[in-house]
Chains A and B, each alone.
Chain A
């Protein structure tokens, strides 16, 4: 699964609607609860573990990609 697909799956939107600019402001279903579910999902998919502080203030898919890269995970 690509990062876009993971995000789309958790947020229940079509992957085509998700870009690196997408965030809580542009996708209505991106609530704080879904944000947590997204974190847990990313941990499972990429086999890593976050400290919540690292990721709770992330505001877009692009920023997610940056955080993942910082942890040594390149995403498609």
Chain B
């Protein structure tokens, strides 16, 4: 869609009898490279278009009430913000206050803004509001005091407002006009002014660390902005402190903030490999031919890896989506000295010659996430376009142009932006956050048992199904510590066993007061001898170690075996370099060694009387299992 076509389609929608246009809202990305005036025109025109004409099941629009108030006149922010929000699936009702209404709006419980009851309040600030018009360059200490007082006025207004609103508030750091800097003649004085100004910005940043107030570090974001922050003519004539392009940059960041408020953050980054994570084509250039060292362009790709790793460390799940030979890829991740990412960093690897849209669809299903939680990054325009067309809700990052720009392209959109990486009630859905919460929670208890009781653990053991099968097989293959063998069952082997009456494949799921951990373990059982059920393998994710989950799962297996008439449970164990934690479960659960044969230890546990393995702090929930 070209600029003109977008505008044309919006105009058509404004007619009362116009049919809905579900492609328009996602199509607004086509305005990303358009002139700011075109985007502003689109935003103004869109103000009159009813949401029903824009929404579609593929691209649902979420309502949000957004208020804008500031110390200056926001010239074109409203239409720019409207486009920035719609583009990412938010149909906002926007309220804009007039010039310098900020303190009044925040202080007066009956202000128009307060009565609008915003979900998000955007506070726009400019240097002229903080600086006295006639500040004395000979008294910078006095200036620092005045700036402190102004910040105090703002802080007081915000405190009052915070008690009356349930919505989120966004402040930002304020760039200082170079005009003020140059008004001082001495280098020392300019440096001091700079320090005083950064102290003010520090105070603004601090204000964003409590309640529901957040601070956007706009000063940093404007470092790579093209052009001046303000147009002196607009500023003097109409008190507009930002040029339209700065407003556009702000609108993008504010929209990202709104998405984080709504919790619509992406959770998975699916990465291509060739010419994305490294320069070159692994299949053609070989392990030694691909480049990702310290020289250009390898260092650009290495930086992509560094950024992806940083995302992973903050809770973003990484996945591979590559057309490649899986053996070569495994070898590369295991052996290439310059790879920062290793196989363990990925939750799933779709390395095959299939269609990428299909792979992404499966990936989302495997992780039990919606496609809108997936970001797909690839250097191939073909793959990007295919995914955009087939899966409009997947967010596509096209790594085009010079690889030096890839890290920026990956992060600029802010797909993974959240309000805070700490745990609050609303944000606890994500696994990593839940874990962080558990650790802090643990610190408040005297004994581990107290902590485990308060965790309110629930364990469900159920038979594997179509949905969980790839995941449990993956878990088996990926687990190194709590596993009974180095030869875990492949997906195909798991599938055969799942369909065989002589075998049983079980999954273990855990939930606690912080949320669902999801599928954390699996058991592969053979029951062709009705007298003795044999546990061929038992794997458990290290995320749930030391909570008695393994005992609870074995308790359930013992119940099942007894109910089927078995008199004993047997368990096989082959030591590897790293699976000591797995082997320790058998003596702990009361199994004894029956035999050692060719490196495999066979443990046994009689089922009469019924073994009591279930820890007191765990509730075992019924899961479907065929007899």
Q: Which residues of B contact A33 (CB under 8 A)?
A: 73, 75, 238
Cα-based distance from A12 to B48 in the complex (angstroms): 10
Partner of B11, one of A1, A14, A45, A52: A14
Give a binary string over B1-13; 1 marks a CB under 8 Å from any A CB, 0 the rest. 0001001000100
Nearest chain A CB to B237 CB, angstrom units: 6
Q: Which residues of B contact A32 (CB under 8 A)?
A: 238
Partner of B75, one of A6, A9, A37: A37
Q: Which residues of A contact B7 (CB under 8 A)?
A: 9
Q: Which residues of B contact A14 (CB under 8 A)?
A: 11
Cα-based distance from A40 to B248 in the complex (angstroms): 14
A10 within 8 A of B: yes
Complex A-B: 18 CB contacts under 8 Å: A1-B4, A9-B40, A10-B41, A12-B47, A32-B238, A33-B75, A36-B75, A36-B234, A36-B237, A37-B40, A37-B76, A37-B244, A40-B37, A41-B40, A44-B36, A45-B37, A52-B237, A56-B237
Identify the closest chain A residue to B46 (Cβ). Answer: A12
Would B231 and A40 count as touching, CB distance under 8 A?
yes
A-B pairs with beta carbons under 8 A, tally: 47
Take A33-B75, A36-B75, A36-B240 as given contacts and tell me if A9 and B37 are in contact as well, using a CB distance cutoff of 8 Å.
Answer: yes
Would A12 and B73 count as touching, CB distance under 8 A?
no
B613 within 8 A of A: no
B516 within 8 A of A: no
Would A9 and B234 count as touching, CB distance under 8 A?
no
Would A52 and B233 count as touching, CB distance under 8 A?
yes
Contacts A14-B11, A37-B244 given; 17 further ones with Cβ under 8 A?
Answer: A9-B7, A9-B40, A9-B45, A10-B44, A12-B44, A33-B73, A33-B75, A33-B238, A36-B75, A36-B238, A37-B76, A40-B37, A40-B231, A40-B244, A41-B37, A45-B35, A52-B233
Would B44 and A9 count as touching, CB distance under 8 A?
yes
Count of B interface residues, CB-CB < 8 Å: 23
Q: Which residues of A contact B244 (CB under 8 A)?
A: 37, 40
Cα-based distance from A1 to B47 in the complex (angstroms): 21
Nearest chain A CB to B9 CB, angstrom units: 14
Cα-based distance from A56 to B236 in the complex (angstroms): 13
Q: What's the dominant secondary structure at chain B's contact region?
A: helix
Nearest chain B CB to A67 CB, angstrom units: 15
Count of A interface residues, CB-CB < 8 Å: 16
Give a binary string over B200-236; 1 marks a CB under 8 Å from any A CB, 0 the rest. 0000000000000000000000000000000101100
Identify the closest chain A residue to B35 (Cβ). Answer: A44
Cα-based distance from A44 to B226 in the complex (angstroms): 14
Give a binary string over B65-98; 1 marks a CB under 8 Å from any A CB, 0 the rest. 0000000010110000000000000000000000
Identify the closest chain A residue to B47 (Cβ). Answer: A12
Nearest chain A CB to B469 CB, angstrom units: 55
Cα-based distance from A6 to B35 in the complex (angstroms): 12
Q: Which residues of B contact A1 (CB under 8 A)?
A: 4
Give a binary string over A25-44; 1 marks a CB under 8 Å from any B CB, 0 the rest. 00000001100110011001
Cα-based distance from A70 to B40 in the complex (angstroms): 27
Q: Which residues of A contact B73 (CB under 8 A)?
A: 33
Cα-based distance from A60 to B111 in the complex (angstroms): 37
8 nearest CB pairs, A to B: A9-B41, A41-B37, A12-B44, A52-B233, A44-B37, A36-B238, A44-B35, A52-B237
Q: Which of B233-254 contact A (CB under 8 A)?
A: 233-234, 237-238, 240, 244
Cα-based distance from A41 to B4 in the complex (angstroms): 16
Nearest chain A CB to B359 CB, angstrom units: 42
Q: Which residues of B contact A41 (CB under 8 A)?
A: 37, 40
Identify the closest chain B residue to A52 (Cβ). Answer: B233
Nearest chain B CB to A47 CB, angstrom units: 11
Cα-based distance from A44 to B39 in the complex (angstroms): 13
Cα-based distance from A70 to B37 in the complex (angstroms): 23
